[in-house]
Amino acid sequence: MQAPTRYRSGVAALALMALLLSACRVEEPSRVGKEPAPDRADFKILETRAVDSQDRPEAGQRATEAGPAVQKLLNDFYTGAFIDPDQWGDGTHESIKGLFTGEAQGHVGPNLGGLALADLAPRIDRVYPTKQEAAKLTFMAEDDLSLPIGLVNVVFEAEAEAKEGEDSPVKIIHHAIFWLAREGDAYKISAFQAALSADTETRTAAWGGMGQ
C-alpha cells in the first residue's frame, strides 16, 4: 500500500533528517550503570489530529481514540529494534517485521541498518532511552469517519552500554517518519523514512512514501 500523494516527500527530506541528527545532540549526565535499563519502550504522542475534508469534530475524536493503537505500535517497534536485547536476535530483529504491512515487510531487511540496531546489536549490552516522543500523529478521515491511513513523526534518543572491549556509552539518535495502514484493530507501518546515528556513524532507511 503506497502512502497518499499529499504525504510523499523527496530524497532531500531524508537527507535533511540525517543532517538534523547531529544538531539534536544534547549533553547530559550519563544514565548508563546508574539506573536499571527498561525492558520496554514508553512513547508519548504529543499531538494527534485528523485531516477531514468535511471538518467534522467527530473526526478529531476518532483520531484521539485511535492514538493508543499507534502508541502500542511504536512501543512494540522500539522495544524490538532498540530496547529489549532478547528481541535483537544478534541484529536480525525478527520481532519487528510483523509490525509492517505485507508489502513493506520485504523492504525491512535491506533497510535494517537505518531502522534498528542491526549489526550494532552484538556490540551492545543494554539501551537507556532519554527521549521517546511522537511529535505529531495525523490521520486521514474517510467519509464514514474511518481512519485507514496515518502518518507519525518519531524521535528516539538513548545511551547504550557497550560490551566489554567496546567504547561506551554509545549515543543513539533515531528519527523516523512512519506511514500507517489500519489492519483490523491495529495499525502497521506501510512506508518509512528513517535515520539512525550511533556516535559518529549515520545510516538511513527509506521505502514508500516517495512514490516507489
pLDDT tens-digit series, residues 174-202: 999 999 999 999 999 999 999 999 988 89
Phi, psi of 116 (to 5 degrees): -150, 180
- Predicted confidence (pLDDT) at residue 32 exceeds the cutoff of 80: no
Label residue 210 by pLDDT band (50, 70, 90). very low
Helices (H) and strands (E) in the chain, counts: 5, 7
The residue among 206, 153, 180, 187 whose CA lies nearest residue 1 is 180
pLDDT in tens, 80-106: 999 999 999 999 999 999 999 999 999
101 within 8 A of 190, measured Cβ to Cβ: yes
Instruction: State residue 28's pLDDT score.
Output: 56
When pLDDT is cut at 50, 70 and 90, the band that residue 5 belongs to is very low
- pTM of the shown model: 0.85
Q: CB of 96 within 8 A of CB of 80?
A: yes
What's the CA gap between 128 and 28, in Å, rounded?
13
- pLDDT higher than threshold 90 for residue 209: no
